[in-house]
Structure 1
Amino acid sequence: MVRSSLSRVASPTDSISIPQVQSRAFEADASRNQDENGTNGVDEDEKARIERLGRERPPKFKSLTAEICFCYSLLASMITVEYFVSGFSVLLPTIVERLDIPQASQVWPSSAFSLVTAAFLLPFGRLGDMYGGYPMYLGGLAWFCVWSLIAGFSHNQLMFDFCRALQGLGCAAFLPAGVMLMGAIYRPGPRKNLVFSLYGAAAPLGFFIGVFFAGLTGQYLRFGWYFWIGAILVLSTILAAFWTVPNDAEERKALGLKMDWMGSILIVSGLVLVVYAITDSSHAPQGWRTPYIYITLIVGSLLLMGAVYVEGWVATAPLLPPTLFDIPYIKPLFLSLFLSYGVFGVFLLYGTFYMQDIMGGSPLQLVAWFAPMGLGGCIIAITGGYVLHLLSGTVLLIISAFGWIITSLLFALAPTGANYWAYVFPAMIGATVGIDISYNVANVFITTSLLTSQQGLAGALLNSLLFLGIAFVLSFADVTHFETAHLGLKESYQAVFWYQLAVQLAALAIMIAFVRIRKAESDLTADEKLARGKEMAEDLESPKG
């Protein structure tokens, strides 16, 4: 099988590449199957063999129990992320009050986490490809646990924002590592679809757990308990991962990948400065004319332009290899996902503010109001594992876009004293359709399209789109809120929802016009396709006998 043969790769200078190893493993499986069935005169054709391999348990796991434990550890990591990202929005108004955070700075506890995570995902994704998903995964979880614990002791805004930013650093390490481990172990097919759908289902489950404990601590306990409970959840994930996640460190080191330090520095610093300028512009003394705002924006933009030059023409091992953008439809897909994920971030923050400030919901009421989003997300994500190979990815993405459009319209049009069942409940269903379907489609498509040596990049890209989308789109939502504050609080919030609708309509237009993703059926891996293409080219070039 594919992954069991990777241990044969001793160094980057070996004459046998990973694609060739995977191709030979595929052919060896075919020979074994023919030997086993040859006595009965039954030969398995390639299509049937691919379908069978796409449904079988990966050889990395000696038993179904080992596979289940591995999946649990990965799902638990996603639960903890959503606990601290989505559930945190419900607790934010309480933290704002307890720490006396001014209105101009209320967006930073959320933005600091997303910004740091997004900025460091690509460098950490490369480190995972270089040194293995196992050490990056465990190290990131340990760091995340420590700063989650410390955050609960925060006594002022500066300490709290600092802890949230350092939480994001741990998240940037273990998120791409987790996706890398799943993407490298599972080959294209229904089994991979199911595992990634379960991974997606962990997000709404973590969301609801986060919302529940946020409501509980916000109403009855000190807010620090929210972070201490979260730290316990992370610790349980570390213990599960230590015993169940396969150690791929030696295999990854054998690939001989190098780090692009110059590109990493330029990308990280550029993203931090640009997002900071956009986020803080609406609260600066003179807006965009404030010197530190336009200076950081200009410097950040120059750094990002420098990163483009380095990645395209200088780096020998760029973080974003040019071949990445040769994948059909990948560029418009990235842009549409960037916008849709940003809509998710806007809804979480401003939807929470709207339900609390305008509808008068208490923290525990918000738990109940958000419940359909958590439960519906679990149902949709798990069901998706059984339909990804039946419906095209483009159709599923369009369905998810309409989910966000419905959600945006319901909140934008909600009258004073709006009924929960008429407006909020269907909006929650639309939100879970919007985020969970698109997240699953993107995970399966991108991990399937990239080589084994690029699975860390796959994990980094998937999560970069999510967190960068949230950071950028939420920044402009904050600007919209500030610029329309004179209309009144309710009207200002609804202006944000109209902005949210416009962003999602742009994403939908891109999906319809430029994105074509086929069904996620059983198939050769990217490595096997590359090896087969090289073999065919060599056959064509070799002289005929």
Structure 2
Amino acid sequence: MTPPKDGEPDNSSRSRDNIATLDESTLERLGKERPQSFSGVWPEVAFCFSIVMSQILAEYYISGSNVLLPSLIEELDFPAAAAIWPSTSLSLAVTSTLLIFGRLTDMFGGYAIYVAGAGWLTISSILCGVSQSWLMLVICRALQGLALAAFLPSGVMILGKTYRPGPRKNFVFSLYGACAALGFFVGIFFSGLCSQYLTWRWYFFIGAILSAITTLSSIFYVPRDYKETRAHGASMDWAGCALSVSGTVLFVFAIAHSSYAPQQWRTPYIPVCLVLGVVLLATMTYVEGWVIKNPLLPGDIFAVKYMKPLAIALLFLYGSLGVFLLYVVLYMSEFMGATPFQMVAWTVPMALGGLILCCIGGLIFHRVSGTILLIISCLGYIGSGLFFAVIPPGGNYWAFVFPAMICGTIGIDISFNLANIFITTNMPKAKQGLAGALINCTLHMGIAVMLGFADIVHSETAYLGMRESYKAVFWYQTGLAIFGLLVVIFFVRIHEAKSDLTVDEREALAADAQARSSTACPDEV
């Protein structure tokens, strides 16, 4: 920072003095106020719409493709071993590039990466809709994954930088999390509509229209932050990029494809890819931790208290969610005879529950211990799998499916919202992109890896019959959620999300106190 010239006031000192005078009531008021970057209520509403659409579109493209799969296999002549790749290619592209786009966000700002991601999602969605072969569709789905990988961390960064800790931030992040369940419902709705009355291509064309609307809204209402972000001087870690992408792709591919390989795990390329993936990821850990000065995933993010056990718990909880979203659709279709539109109706509680929890979360997150809320979330994950694990033949909707959907929305909405608030509140503005990347990397890595193991469970228990094999998968999902609960109970402590100073403000006060201490005369010290 340039020192003030003679006769000029020291604005930095004045700013730190102003920060120091903020009492609890003032912080509470600031935490409820609309950010100064918005001139009124409608610009803020348009801004929030632009950002939450990233969640809706991400879940739209994850959930809906499962319902479309029978139509895709029939029309594009998918080989049996390639049937998982319309979904897996998207998740794999997202998982392997999230950290890279998180760093790009910290380099160039949330606005540029977010708008670029929205625009690219529009283009790649159109390419999916005009695909003429199964291979072209799989490649275009991976291109969609790149768009989502740009979308998600930049969206979290923008929200984290725009809102200071307090009730207003809690509410906006609750709304953002609720849109995951809403996007799941929207994806199921339009895939069911297109499967039954139109063609699978319109599912992607509708997604392209929604993406184009989001792009236009973002251009006009998301604050521009290029100059501010470039001032932080962040740079790319190319070694981390190469190791993270290659290691993640090989590792996830080996697990996800093992059940579909000609000889499963005995197929030579499966263990080879797994070992290479592990070696590359281990090399990345060493290089990032002890060699590179600007690592893609800095170790100081895990220096935040309880960050490590929280990340481990979320990995298992989000993995449980991925298993639930896929196998519930398959079970309802194959064993309960649900048509696409029936599945739409049956998943309504997830969407409505998410919106209700959004409103409740904004009111209670700053009043109730985060640990208690996270435990409730874990119980929701457990319940979502348990109801399907014990459902008897001919089990009805209201006794089993309805409570499972309620538990599912309790699980994902509370945990996702708390994770977003906790991580963004504990990271400075210069690393908000990294915070968004870590959250979503945990989410998609958990889904990709745990879903791969779910396919292994399904394959290895096939001798029990299809229905019992599915129930074994739901028991596996329940076990993942129970493990996440135990980690939370024994190792995670999160306080209420109250109004507070930002990390940057606390660092400014600490630096000022240190400077004054060093310049004070001995008697004063």
What is the TM-score normalised by the length of structure 1? 0.91
1:365 aligns with 2:339: no
In 1, the alpha carbon distance for the partners of 2:135 and 2:445 equals 23
Distance (whole Å) between structure 1 residues aligned to residue 113 and residue 12 of structure 2:
25
Change (3 A) 1:444 1:24: farther
Do residues 375 (structure 1) and 322 (structure 2) align?
no
2:32 is equivalent to residue 55 of structure 1: yes
Deviation at 1:100, TM superposition (A): 3.6
Matched, 1:128 2:105: yes
Residue matched to 1:116:
93
Q: Distance in 2 between matches of 1:123 and 1:332?
A: 23
**For 1:434-513, what aligned pairs fall within 5 Å after superposition?**
434-513=411-490
> Which amino acid in 1 is paired with 2:440?
N
The answer to whether the 8 Å contact 2:19/2:505 transfers is no
How many residue pairs get aligned? The number is 517
Rounded Cα–Cα distance in structure 2 between residues aligned with 1:21 and 1:418? 68
Distance 1:15 1:391, change over 3 A: farther
- Tell which deviates more after alignment, 149-158 or 259-268: 149-158
State the 1:320 CA deviation: 1.4
Q: CA deviation at 1:14?
A: 5.4
Aligned residue number for residue 173 of structure 2: 196
Q: Residue 80 of structure 1 aligns to which amino acid in structure 2?
A: L
Q: 1:470 to 1:131 in 2, by over 3 A?
A: same
Aligned to 1:98: 75
1:218-257 deviation line (CA, Å, top 9, x unaligned): 1111100000011000000001011111110111111111
Q: Is the alpha carbon distance of 1:58 and 1:21 closer, same or farther for their aligned partners in structure 2, counting shifts above 3 Å?
A: farther
Query: Is 1:179 matched with 2:144?
Result: no
Kept in 2, the 8 Å contact 1:89–1:348? The answer is no
CA, structure 1 residues 489+527, in 2 after alignment: closer, same or farther (shift >3 Å)? Answer: same
Q: Which amino acid aligns with 1:91?
A: L
Task: Name the counterpart of 1:42.
Answer: none
Other structure's SS at 2:318 match: helix
Indicate the residue corresponding to 1:34 in structure 2: none
Distance of 1:151 and 1:161 partners within structure 2: 8
Corresponding residue to 2:202 among 208, 216, 225: 225
Distance 1:465 1:404, change over 3 A: same
- What is the correspondence of 1:379-418 to structure 2 with a 5 Å cutoff? 379-418=356-395
Instruction: Work out the CA distance in 1 between the residues paired with 2:157 and 2:281.
Output: 26
Give the aligned partner of residue 306 of structure 1.
283
Q: Are residue 288 (structure 1) and residue 244 (structure 2) matched?
A: no
**What does residue 10 of structure 1 align with?**
none
1:9 alignment partner in structure 2:
none
Aligned residue type for 2:479: A
What secondary structure, in the 3-state scheme, does the structure 2 residue paired with 1:154 have? coil
Q: CA deviation at 1:26?
A: 5.9
Q: Distance in 1 between matches of 2:304 and 2:399?
A: 43
- 1:425 CA drift (Å): 0.6
State the alpha-carbon separation in 2 of the partners of residues 104 and 390 from structure 1.
Answer: 50
Of 45-54 and 248-257, more deviation after overlay is shown by 45-54
Q: Offset at 1:544?
A: 3.6
What letter corresponds to residue 338 of structure 1 in structure 2?
L
Distance 1:202 1:27, change over 3 A: farther
User: Residues 31-42 of structure 1 correspond to what in structure 2 (within 5 A)?
Assistant: none
1:151 match:
128
Q: Distance in 1 between matches of 2:249 and 2:94?
A: 10
Aligned to 1:270: 247
Distance 2:370 2:12 in 1: 26
Shift of the 94–370 alpha-carbon distance from structure 1 to 2, 3 Å rule, reads farther
Hey, what's the Cα distance between the residues in 1 that align with 2:391 and 2:72? 27
Name the residue aligned to 2:501. Answer: 524
Q: Is the Cα contact below 8 Å between 1:23 and 1:531 reproduced in 2?
A: no
Which residue pairs with 1:215 in the alignment? 192
Q: CA deviation at 1:352?
A: 0.5
- Corresponding position: 1:318 with 2:298: no
* Aligned residue in 1 for 2:7: none
Task: Report if aligned partners of 2:424, 2:435 keep a CA contact under 8 Å in 1.
Answer: yes
- In structure 1, runs of 5+ residues without a counterpart are 1-12, 32-44
TM-fit CA distance, 1:102: 4.3
Give yes or no for contact 1:393–1:520 (8 Å, CA) kept in 2.
yes
1:474-494 deviation digits (Å, cap 9, x = unpaired) = 010011111111211111111
**CA 1:396–1:231 in 2, change beyond 3 Å: closer, same or farther?**
same
| Partner-residue secondary structure (3-state), 2:500 | coil
Distance change >3 Å, CA 63–CA 25, structure 1 → 2: farther
Q: Output the CA distance in 1 between the equivalents of 2:2 and 2:199.
A: 58
Distance 1:269 1:481 in 2: 27
Taking the aligned partners of 2:405 and 2:328, their CA distance within structure 1 comes to: 10
Aligned partners of 1:102 and 1:384: how far apart in 2?
45
How many angstroms does 1:167 deviate by?
0.3
Please name the residue that 1:6 is paired with.
none
- What are the superposed Cα offsets for residues 287-321 of structure 1, whole Å, 9 maximum, x if unpaired? 22322111111111111111101111111111111
Cα deviation per residue 1:245-293 (whole Å; 9 max; x = unaligned)?
Answer: 1110111111111111101110111000000011111222232232211
- Once residues 292 and 168 of structure 2 are traced to their aligned partners in structure 1, the CA distance between those partners, rounded to angstroms, is 37
Supply the distance in 1 between the matched residues of 2:12 and 2:419 (Cα, whole angstroms). 24
Q: Which letter does structure 1 place at the counterpart of 2:267?
A: T
Q: Determine if contact 2:193/2:340 at 8 Å carries over to the other structure.
A: yes
Confirm whether residue 239 of structure 1 aligns to residue 239 of structure 2: no
C-alpha distance after superposition, 1:202-230 (max 9, x if no partner): 22222222111111111111100000011
CA shift at 1:387, angstroms?
Answer: 0.9
Partners of 1:349 and 1:59 in 2: CA distance: 42
Partner of 2:510: 533
The equivalent of 1:333 in structure 2 is 310
CA RMSD of aligned residues (A): 1.8
* Equivalent position to 1:71, from 45, 48, 55: 48
Q: Does 1:260 align with 2:220?
A: no
**Cross-structure match for 1:38:** none
Conserved 8 A contact 2:129-2:201 = yes
Q: Distance in 1 between matches of 2:247 and 2:63?
A: 26
CA 1:306 to 1:385, structure 2 compared with 1: closer, same or farther past 3 Å?
same
Cα deviation 1:160-184 (Å, max 9, x = unaligned): 1111111000110111111111101
2 CA distance for matches of 1:21 and 1:460? Answer: 34
Report if the CA contact (8 A) 2:317-2:484 is conserved.
yes
Distance across 1 between alignment mates of 2:140 and 2:249:
16
Which amino acid counterpart does residue 489 of structure 1 have in structure 2? M
**What does 1:343-362 align with in structure 2 at a 5 Å threshold?**
343-362=320-339
1:384 maps to amino acid: G
Which has the larger displacement, 115-124 or 72-81? 72-81
